[in-house]
Structure 1
Amino acid sequence: MKLRVLALSLTLVSPLHALAEDGPAHDQLQAMSQANRSLNYTGRFLYQFGAEVSTMEIRHAVLDGKEHQRLTHLDGRLVEVIRRGDEVVCLHPDRTLTRISRTETGPLALAQRLAEDVPAQYNILVDGDGRVAGRNATRMRVAPLDTHRYGYRLWLDRDSRLLLKSEVVDGSGVALERVEFVSIELAPGLTHADFALPEVISQSDLSSLPPSHVMQKLALSAEWLPAGFETTGQDWRHAEDDRAPVAAQGYSDGLAAFTVFVEEVKDGSVEEGVSRVGPTVAVSRRLTAPSGAYLVTLVGEIPQATAERVIQSVRVQDASH
């Protein structure tokens, strides 16, 4: 099972100084979240994820009271993700379309995840001035108070409060993931046509498992979680291409997040191990329950040592027990 979860976040290392005219740091984050949801804009940005760098284009608008967004990969294979209100679809190079659940993940999701109060496990600090895409910016950092989560650095446009640049950083201040606008235009006059779906040759989505399915009768739990992390819901779904069903249990502290995936295995040949790309870590191990054997995989933006400790505490059992 190939799993990759994208997300966005930030923190910094240089000396701090207060910007009295900009108001409290929390207010600035709230203004950023509101701007990213409500303003109409287009732009191009660089997305660095580990050693990989991609160029992407975004169109964003609120039309008839609904938020619309179109993300287009400008290099490599042409892939687009289009959001129209609660509808989210992924357009593939072979002209197929997959409908996906609305989720606040992806290279520009940080502003939405900061819409609520920042969890108690982080400090928010104003960090001075900067410039991104030719625009004056206020630098901020969201710094973790323990070693179980990453920190974040952000650059907010001083005029519009849009998030112009963000970084996920480890405990040494090294950037593991970066999103940086190279050009941006406000109020570009976008219409519904800018978010239209092209003709596609096929469509697919993830369908729910019937209540009688064996995967529905399993209970997934973690006996140890870092402070502040709570479950965000469990989902049991058919995977695409007639593969075995996959269960997903989400966890979040309100900013950082990870997901534990479970799939049934029919034989002993399962891949256990650890891999990491940028801030995203994947840890897999084999577990057994009275109903069979399962491959459990944790994927998320948390430090590797934390991920390994969590997955060692994961238990799979029949829900009836």
Structure 2
Amino acid sequence: MKGLNQYLPKIGWGILLSWSVAVTAEAEINTASSDEAALSLFQQMGQALTQLSYNGIFTHEHSGNLDPIRITHQVINDVEANRFKHLTGSANAIVQRSDASLCAREDLSQQTLLPRTDDSLDSHYLLKLVGEDRVADRSVYIVNALPRDEFRYGYRLALDTETAMPLMMATISGNRMLERFQFIDFQPVTNTAEVVDELIEPKRDEVLLLGGCVQTADLAHWRLGWVPSGFQLISAKVTDSAEMLAFSDGMSRFSVFVSRVLGRKTLEGEARRGGTLVYLDKIVIAGEPYQVSIVGEVPKTTAQKVASAVIPLARR
């Protein structure tokens, strides 16, 4: 990723850190073109997130709290696994694992769960390379991703100049930072012999979370009549009592949970933790109430529209 300095503006760092929304009109954001350098960096970041193994410690800053977390991320033979351990509070760890070889790579256009869109990230975010800095004692490029509509948040990222891994990611609403993830130690792993066995077989007291597969959506009983443009179905889980459908636009992500209500009592309301919103609503189908929960990094107006767009599929 050398040679990007030609794209960097020669201005003071204090100005570079100012959030571009404050000085960029909405109409200009909607019509402006993203930097070629920023687009290239985001493509490299996507590869790094799914292909790079690393160890590190990052902080999660949200709602006045600062949580330090140790992470081990390994990608071996299509198996992607993370081990998260909070360094304050409870010492229990969470292991998150997904095995791409177990999921059929089907064409999502064959699914009937959402309106199909093929728009690129640039269609929904104005991507700008705005400067350089250091994070976790490593050189980084600073990139802003400004939303082109009201259905998603903006982001500021610090991308490692060597690996394109995001070493800092802040979620921005208007001029307010909702949360920030930032590495304070980051070590890429190039020797696959250093795989941590606990990621494959977690310890007894650790929580194991398995990723969903897209083809599971074929078993779902629900679909969305509307999603913000650019959001795609990325995984699904179907059980006897509940269903989960997860969507992403390449930056933001939200999940939709639908479950049958026991006792006919539903919950309604909202709660927020940093950039993550939990929005609770209900729908009534053939006189039966169902709980709908939207969880993700989206504004409340987006969650409300998604919740109202949940409709049942015709039973097969």
TM-score by length of 2: 0.69
Map residues 131-170 of structure 1 onto 2, 5 A cutoff. 131-170=134-173
Q: Secondary structure at the match of 2:45?
A: helix
1:67 is displaced (CA, Å) by: 4.8
Q: Which has the higher helix share?
A: 2
Q: Residue 47 of structure 1 contacts residue 55 of structure 1 at CA under 8 Å; is this kept in 2? A: yes
| 1:123 is aligned to 2:126 | yes
Aligned residue type for 2:247: Y
1:220 to 219, 222, 227: 222
Where does structure 2 lack aligned partners over 5 or more consecutive residues? Answer: 1-17, 25-34, 104-118, 213-217
Following superposition of structure 1 onto structure 2, how do residues 288-307 of structure 1 map, counting pairs within 5 Å? 288-290=284-286, 292-307=288-303
Partners of 1:160 and 1:282 in 2: how far apart?
33
User: How many residues get paired?
Assistant: 263
Is residue 256 of structure 2 the alignment partner of residue 260 of structure 1? yes
Q: Give the distance between the partners of 1:69 and 1:79, measured in 2 at CA.
A: 14
Matched, 1:194 2:207: no
In the TM superposition, 1:95-110 aligns within 5 A as none
Match in the other structure for 2:83 = 70
C-alpha separation in 1, matches of 2:313 and 2:49: 42
Q: Which residue number corresponds to residue 286 of structure 1?
A: 282
TM-superposed deviation, 1:139: 0.2
Q: Distance in 1 between matches of 2:222 and 2:205?
A: 37
Q: Which moved more, 1:284-293 or 1:269-278?
A: 284-293
Counterpart contact for 1:15–1:127, Cα < 8 Å = no
Equivalence for 2:55: 42
Percent of aligned pairs sharing the same letter: 27
Contact 1:218–1:319 under 8 Å retained in 2: no
Q: Is the 8 A contact 1:141 1:153 kept in 2?
A: yes
SS in 2 for 1:24: helix
For structure 1, the 5+ residue unaligned runs are 1-10, 17-21, 88-100, 102-115, 209-215, 239-244
1:293: Cα distance to partner? 1.9
Structure 1 201/194 Cα, relative in aligned 2: closer, same or farther at 3 Å? closer
Q: Give yes or no for contact 2:270–2:280 (8 Å, CA) kept in 1.
A: yes
Q: Which amino acid in 1 is paired with 2:229?
A: A
Contact 2:57 2:185 in 1 (8 A): yes
Q: Report the Cα distance in structure 2 between the residues aligned to 1:233 and 1:69, rounded to whole angstroms.
A: 17
Query: Are the structure 2 counterparts of residues 84 and 301 from structure 1 closer, same or farther at C-alpha, using a change threshold of 3 Å?
Result: closer
Q: Which SS does the other structure have where 1:306 is aligned?
A: helix
SS at match of 2:121: coil
| Secondary structure of residue in 2 paired with 1:311 | helix
SS at match of 1:227: coil
- TM-score, length basis structure 1: 0.68
Equivalent position of 1:3 in the other structure: none
